[in-house]
Chains A and B, each alone.
Chain A
Amino acid sequence: MASGRREFLKTAAGAAALGLGAGAGSFLGAQALARSSAGQPAAGGGKRYALAVDTKKCAEREGCRACIDACHVTHNVPRIENREEEVKWVWKEEVQWVFQDRVHEYSGEELRRRPVLLLCNHCDNPPCVRVCPTQATFKSADGPVMMDPHRCIGCRYCVVGCPYGARSFNWKDPKPYIEHVDPAYPPRARGVVEKCTMCSERLARGLEPACVEACTRSGAGALLFGDMNEPESEIRKRVESSLALRRKEHLGTRPQVYYTL
């Protein structure tokens, strides 16, 4: 039954793609439509980097900011206290807001208020990439949704299109708000959007993302990074064997950050 339905969806999407292709050129991009119907791990043997968050382990360390600080120091993310203009790549929010569609009036206080680590979901079908008018944000071959700050015109359509609040716009020059600028990673200018890039610069050197490294080093061990296309990887096994949630599954964005509660 399940596979029958999936086949139907594939055909329907194919037909829709063709129809649109004939009607309005590549208005939405036949590719985007075909991808959104797959619901299957990406084929082709490439990498599909992902992150798994064990929220229980994370919450055990009350007030821990190891991952946030590591990320923000590594990437010269400014610290702006004013919530309206804040810039953040990883941060924490309570379960009741992160999983609005999973909690209910009988969910316990501990669960509701449990802080959850948030970051860009590096969706397999990212709406931010779809809406960007200049391809300043794009999907890289091995998974991360990337930002090219040189090309960004600052229209903020991606901020509007992201369902997860993962994107920050630089309302002002961020440099005065960076305590110590690390020359190894360029800060951004005012007027562009920025976000987590899954530490693509570290992945290129064979390192894990800075947040994951910091979490492991702190002893919390709440973050797990790996390749979902590798059937024997630890992250793939965990996601297969436990109920690993993704945020706003119903939107079809296929996030690559998995949560176990």
Chain B
Amino acid sequence: MLEKALKGSGKYWGLMCFLALLIGVGLGCYLWQFRVGLQITGLSRDVPWGFYISQFTFLVGVAASAVILVLPYYLHDFKAFGRIVVLGEFLAISAVIMCMLFVFVDMGQPMRVLNVMLHPTPQSVMFWDVMVLSGYLLLNVVISRVTFGAEVRGVAPPAWIKPIIVLSIPWAVSIHTVTAFLYSGLGARPFWLTAILAPRFLASAFASGPSLLILLCLLLKRFTRFDAGSKAIQKLGVIVVYALLVNIFFVGVELFTALYSDIPEHKHHFQYLFLGLEGKTTMVPWMWFSQIVGLLAVLFLLNPKVRENERFLALGCLGVVVAIWIEKGLGMVVGGFVPSTQGSLMEYWPTAPEVAIGLGVYGIGFLVLTVLYKVALGERELEEA
């Protein structure tokens, strides 16, 4: 099976070399960080989490969104997803790997990472997050291996895998819920202290994850002989639109609660993000850009005629991914730290080595994804031939 990844076109090897380059640069920067500590990042006393943890948060959403394919296909027998459900599971696998790496590169003492297992602490949400993420990785590896293996051999998957697949559905919801609880359970941070954080995370995940999957499917259609089928892609498009609408509604609900109640400690964070506070305006253009792109994308994609045009669909999906990446991958984390618990305004922006390490992690994730997709497509072509 894996040998399919060893034979490929020039373009395939070009992509692999590019990803290897990203990984190499990222690894070099990480070794530097490993030696001198997290001082090479833009993080600070007042903003102790930034780029790494926000990418982690965004990617947990991407991982969870595989459920958007698994649920209709296995529980409702929605056949159109049959060809791409394994692609969703593979995307989840690579996203979880990236999540784990982003947490790892954020640690001050990475050599001691196993302390989380050696001294299990059920009262800590972070302990549970490690547990559910590892479990989710395992579930997806087992499910995709067994179901795809059966498909390749032309037999039905064994019966014992069915309950495991069903288990993976609430498990996908749990990984993003627990990740939201990391934030929403902290009395110290009024910005995150909101019960809607977990639902909002899920809504934005079900918009950005399927968008990414649509983009990947369209890329595969363009550069390989694989076609996901327009029925599957159109259905994903509908899911993206509804999830994005729900997400926009949730953000609006949050804004109303914070602004209408007029409670300073809740209001200040939104003011910082959208208007700036005392001349500190680093996030302002990004937040407006994200919100406007998100709104435009939803207005654009609401129209079925637009969605049917795959070019427009790709454009809309790109907008969704960018909008949510900024909103969740930057604004959500940094916004919670400014102003600080002591009312001070220390801004954050990632440094070049920090971004390089992040790109290295993305490189690893996409390398894993490329290999898995190559295997899947290679076996499928063999079947059809």
Residues of A within 8 A of B (CB): 25-29, 32, 83-86, 93, 97-98, 100, 127, 130-136, 151-157, 159-165, 168-173, 189-193, 251-253
Residues in chain B near residue A161, CB distance under 8 A: 186, 188
**Residue among A156, A168, A170 making CB contact with B37, cutoff 8 Å:** A170
A256 CA to B202 CA in the complex, in Å?
A: 39
A–B complex contacts, Cβ < 8 Å, 26 sampled = A25-B122, A26-B123, A29-B122, A32-B123, A85-B45, A98-B342, A130-B123, A133-B130, A134-B119, A152-B112, A153-B109, A154-B107, A154-B108, A155-B126, A156-B49, A161-B188, A165-B340, A165-B342, A169-B38, A171-B43, A173-B37, A190-B36, A190-B39, A251-B187, A251-B188, A252-B187
Residues in chain A near residue B344, CB distance under 8 A: 97
Chain A interface, >50% SS class: loop
Q: How many residues of B contact A (CB 8 A)?
A: 43
**Residue among B103, B107, B123 making CB contact with A29, cutoff 8 Å:** B123
Residues of B within 8 A of A (CB): 36-39, 43-46, 48-49, 103, 106-110, 112-113, 115-116, 118-119, 121-128, 130, 182, 185-189, 340-344, 346
Residues in chain B near residue A154, CB distance under 8 A: 38, 107-110, 112
**Residue among A151, A156, A169, A253 making CB contact with B115, cutoff 8 Å:** A151
A109 CA to B99 CA in the complex, in Å?
A: 49
Are B124 and A169 touching (Cβ within 8 A)?
no
A127 CA to B183 CA in the complex, in Å?
A: 13
Select the residue from B38, B107, B189 with max chain A CB neighbours within 10 A.
B38
Shortest distance in angstroms between A10's beta carbon and chain B's nearest beta carbon? 20
Contacts A153-B107, A156-B106, A173-B37 supplied; 14 other A-B pairs, CB < 8 Å: A27-B123, A93-B342, A98-B342, A127-B186, A134-B118, A134-B119, A151-B112, A153-B108, A160-B49, A160-B188, A163-B187, A163-B188, A165-B45, A170-B108
Are A157 and B109 touching (Cβ within 8 A)?
no
A98 CA to B340 CA in the complex, in Å?
A: 12
Query: Can you name the residue of chain A whose Cβ is closest to the Cβ of B106?
Result: A155
Residues in chain A near residue B48, CB distance under 8 A: 156, 159-160, 169
Are A127 and B108 touching (Cβ within 8 A)?
no
Residues in chain B near residue A153, CB distance under 8 A: 107-110, 112-113, 115-116
Shortest distance in angstroms between A158's beta carbon and chain B's nearest beta carbon? 9
